[in-house]
Structure 1
């Protein structure tokens, strides 16, 4: 049975649910269904030929692999940054807190151009790395840098509110029982933060998989080397191969949904295990 609260601010559960379903259908479900329906116009052999070509497979490995690595890096450093912003007071704290949201505000093209200018062989950073044999721009490493840049705010802004709610008395109680700082963090703090940390990772990963604007400038778009899947879709569209583009998009959609459902299930399991039922 549905548990509907009475005297809520917006009465009318049936009407509210109806508007919700209609809105989600128009904004999300119908466009996604159109991708699947367009793909079904391909025969199975033609579909496999499109998605199994070496160039497309290389783009899948690059897009999902780099998004996964960037998400893991952001989960670690985003947690450190959120911890510093919540637990410490220092000069410039408000400025750093505001800069965290900069990737949200910057147009993706501006981000890509700025990173390319920094990490190209003539850039401020790239000019120092080039003599060492380290090349960032126009390589997969450049893609990783761009995905880390755009994904960091998702982790910080997801973990930060939960960290602010954790009472210091929990840490003091653990310390009084003889727990070390590492044990306190691992057994008391981390279980509370883990669902939020997984959420931030999932958001950063999802944004990284579909990112286009900030990546194409620094990637170099070299086939089989630094060509991302969204660019493959754009290339198919420019060639008027709409069915091929939707075939690649449908595979990307399916893989993304499977990964996100897995992460969501892990979040729910973690929340129940720690007593923070969602």
Structure 2
């Protein structure tokens, strides 16, 4: 049966050829460079590895990078969903312009984004001048790192949630309203379960992207060791000092952390989808006549 499925007519070449091309390209672009990174780490002894990845300066960069990335991804999960909701559900002037503006962090070079953010939030910048009398400093502080990581992570959430909202059937909301459900109950019981997997994917992508960000952060962070220095800058500093093994060791830790986050999110998505499928089957078993009417209406 499996052989028959693989031999079905297709617009692309056969399964074996396309699989070989896919695995070869994936290995060349992703797997081989990552394997070399871990091979370089293997040249260090265990005490040397621990000294490279657990020094006070590196640990402080971990703390700042992971905290700012997590907070930025959480903020983007909330406001990215709101932006996606507005873009999908409402028509308003300059909607296409707003939709295109979401992709600016993708299109802008990271260095340009960092310079723009530093100029905007510096004490004499447009926003920084308004915050200075309140005693709030953004540029050249850890708060600037948070702002930069939030800026580069927003498109991941919006572009992940937006197509799911566009394909969501509004008849489900109307049915819940007809049955007497409040707006909050309709949102929490009907809309939210359908978009949670996409929202988690956007959150994970934004978080993983923020962990490795460099260009947009160094211009606004201040780069003070033990205070506003991110892990990416620590890696670059080690490379400039010809400490290739130490830089690779820190990079391997960040790579493992990013992979763990993506694996955790994918596992949660799988669990949520199974739970949603079970709930759907339970509803169909409890109300078979209503489901049959809905199917016939469609």
Distance 1:199 1:78 in 2: 12
1:76-115 CA distance string (max 9 Å, x none): 0000000001111111211111101111111101100000
**Count of aligned positions:** 277
Q: Would you say 1:192 and 2:194 are equivalent positions? A: yes
CA distance in 1, matches of 2:110, 2:121: 16
The residue matched to 2:36 in structure 1 has which SS?
helix
Which of 1 and 2 has greater Rg? Answer: 2
- Report the Cα offset of residue 247 of structure 1: 0.7
Name the residue aligned to 1:54: 56
Match in the other structure for 2:282: none
Q: What is the DSSP-based 3-state SS (H/G/I as helix, E as strand, rest coil) of the residue aligned with 1:274? A: helix
Over 3 Å counting, the alpha-carbon distance change for 1:6 and 1:97 in structure 2 is same
Q: Counterparts of 2:163 and 2:273 in 1: how far apart (Å)?
A: 16
Distance 2:7 2:221 in 1: 51
Compared with structure 1, are the counterparts of its residues 5 and 166 closer, same or farther at alpha carbon in structure 2 (3 Å cutoff)? farther
Q: Report deviation, 1:7.
A: 1.2
- Of the three residues 12, 16, 19, the one matched with 2:18 is 16
**In 1: Cα distance, 2:6 partner to 2:185 partner:** 41
Q: CA deviation at 1:224?
A: 0.7
Q: Is the 8 A contact 2:121 2:127 kept in 1?
A: yes
Q: TM-score scaled to structure 1, two decimals?
A: 0.97
| Higher deviation after alignment, 237-246 or 6-15 | 6-15
Are 1:138 and 2:135 an aligned pair? no
What residue ranges of structure 1 are gaps of 5+ in the alignment? Answer: none
1-side partners of 2:96 and 2:217: how far apart? 29
- Map 1:226-265 → 2, pairs under 5 A: 226-265=228-267
Superposition deviation, residue 5 in structure 1: 6.6
The alignment's TM-score, normalised by the length of structure 2, stands at 0.90
Structure 2: distance between partners of 1:240 and 1:123: 37
Looking at structure 2, the residues matched to 181 and 258 of structure 1 have their Cα atoms a distance apart, in angstroms, of 36
Distance verdict in 2 for CA 1:5–1:124, change over 3 Å: farther
Q: How does 1:156-195 map to 2 (within 5 A)?
A: 156-195=158-197
1:184-236: CA deviations, max 9, x gaps?
A: 11000011001111111111111100000000000000111110001000000
Correspondence 1:89-108 to 2 at 5 A: 89-108=91-110
SS at match of 2:26: helix
Cα distance between partner residues in 1 of 2:10 and 2:183 = 44
Instruction: Determine helix, strand or coil for the equivalent of 1:262.
Output: helix
SS of alignment partner, residue 125 of structure 1 = helix
Structure 2: stretches of 5+ with no match in the other structure: 279-298
Shift of 1:272: 2.3
Pairing 1:88–2:87 present:
no
- Give the CA deviation at 1:275: 2.9
Aligned Cα RMSD in Å?
1.5
Counterpart contact for 2:7–2:15, Cα < 8 Å: no
Residue 122 of structure 2 corresponds to residue 109 of structure 1: no
1:72 Cα shift?
0.7
C-alpha deviation, 1:6, in angstroms: 1.1
State the distance in 2 between where 1:109 and 1:5 align. 49
